[in-house]
Structure 1
Amino acid sequence: MKTEQSIKKVRVYGAGGHSHVIKDVMRMNGYEITDTFDDKPEQVHYASKHVSGGARKNIEKFPHHGDPVIIAVGINAERKEIADFLQSDFETAIHPSAIIAENAVIEEGTVVFAGCIIQTNTRVGKHVIINTGASVDHDNIIGDFAHISPKVALCGHVEVGEGSHVGVGAVVIPKVKIGKWCTIGAGTIVLKDVPDYATVVGNPGKIIKINN
């Protein structure tokens, strides 16, 4: 029987579909979900219950301190904004089926979903999403607030900059550097470095725009 002291607790910020995947991961790891917050509690996922308002409307009254928080928001820029204004400790969510090398580094707030592989000497930053079945090979560097989508394959020595989103099923060959706040389209094959703020699509991947 678990005692009160042995029960791990976490609060979840975000009540969309993404948050339910995170909640499943936390429960598998023995966590109790003590609170769910959302900035638009009237527009949350149909399965979300007992959702409290987030910090945007009144940041001073928000209960920053208490059980650690995991930010369950899929949009990278919004996740960064929330992390910047919350004065809370953050938790990490790693699915039990994920395969992670012993010397890989996973920083706070990051979520690693079912079937992911993270190989040796890789560093994953803060509040990153490593989504279902993604493969992150050796010596990768994944910047804060990035999103590596389902079934992505990052080969060795790949770098993904802060806030960049690598779309479903994309492949990045070895030693490629993707800049910050980039968008890599679903199924794209990335064969060369990508500058900051670029959108890349196709096979082979081509830059279609750079957001200023």
Structure 2
Amino acid sequence: MEKLIVIGAGGYAKSVLDSVDIYNYEIVGFIDEFTSEKVHIGYPIVAHSLDELSNNNHYVYFIAIGNNEKRKKWYDKLKERKLRIINVVDRTAIVSPKAVLGTGCFIGKFAVVNSKAIVGDDCIINTRALVEHGCTVADHANLSTNSVINGDVCIGEGSFIGSCSVTIGQLKIGNWSTVGAGAVVIHDVGNHVTVAGVPAKVIKEGAMLG
């Protein structure tokens, strides 16, 4: 059984730990840069940085940080040190055998990743999110709860797709952009913008820098 350290002791970690395959991974505890607590949801804070952790190559890792930019920084740091990052796929999720997942991905409760979908590295497909057939979700993206991405949509790197939003088929969401909660996206979305509303319109530019 491999020993797992989770990076980030916040709210998102609660969902992650609830979905970890406890038959293959022993949860050792957390690394968290900011907390002063010693325990989070029953597991110890073992370090505040990788440098504090002795023998860090003896563990596997998962990054439980919801913010895309901060998660990417940790992902790059772990990769630079050649440390292994795992996927966490909830037992209730449906991932097509014809879909492709990168590394460091979270697939939450009752989420669906359908046939021929490609999900990049370090992505969050949260509770009940739907990634339909032929979609591409680039690295470090976050599809929030109940979001719907219809067939053949391309989600750009680092983008955040809000809860209960719907993106109709064959569209492109640019890099480091945000789709607001409940939005209905019927046109392509550019890079570094925020869209919201029904139908979705640009309400802010330069939203995420990535």
**TM norm structure 1:** 0.90
* 2:5 is equivalent to residue 11 of structure 1: yes
Cα contact 1:121–1:138 (8 A) shared by 2? yes
The one-letter code sitting in structure 1 at the alignment partner of 2:77 is F
**1:191 aligned partner:** 186
After TM superposition, the structure 1 = structure 2 runs for residues 132-211 of structure 1, keeping only pairs within 5 Å, are 132-211=127-206
How far residue 193 of structure 1 moved from its aligned partner, in angstroms, is 0.5
How far residue 100 of structure 1 moved from its aligned partner, in angstroms, is 1.0
1:97 is paired with a residue whose SS is coil
1:35 is paired with a residue whose SS is strand
How far residue 202 of structure 1 moved from its aligned partner, in angstroms, is 0.1
Mark the runs of 5 or more structure 2 residues left unpaired by the alignment.
none
Cα RMSD over matched residues?
1.8
Cα contact 1:28–1:96 (8 A) shared by 2? no
The one-letter code sitting in structure 1 at the alignment partner of 2:95 is I
**1:40 aligned partner:** 34
Q: Deviations over 1:81-128 (max 9, x none)?
A: 111122211010000111111110111100000001111000001110
Higher mean alpha-carbon deviation, 32-41 vs 101-110, is at: 32-41
**2:45 aligned partner:** 51
Cα contact 2:108–2:125 (8 A) shared by 1? yes
Distance verdict in 2 for CA 1:29–1:186, change over 3 Å: farther
Distance (Å, rounded) in 2 between the aligned partners of 1:130 and 1:44: 29
Higher mean alpha-carbon deviation, 169-178 vs 33-42, is at: 33-42
Distance verdict in 2 for CA 1:93–1:46, change over 3 Å: closer
Mark the runs of 5 or more structure 1 residues left unpaired by the alignment.
1-6
1:175 is paired with a residue whose SS is coil
* 2:126 is equivalent to residue 131 of structure 1: yes
Distance (Å, rounded) in 1 between the aligned partners of 2:102 and 2:38: 28
Higher mean alpha-carbon deviation, 182-191 vs 32-41, is at: 32-41
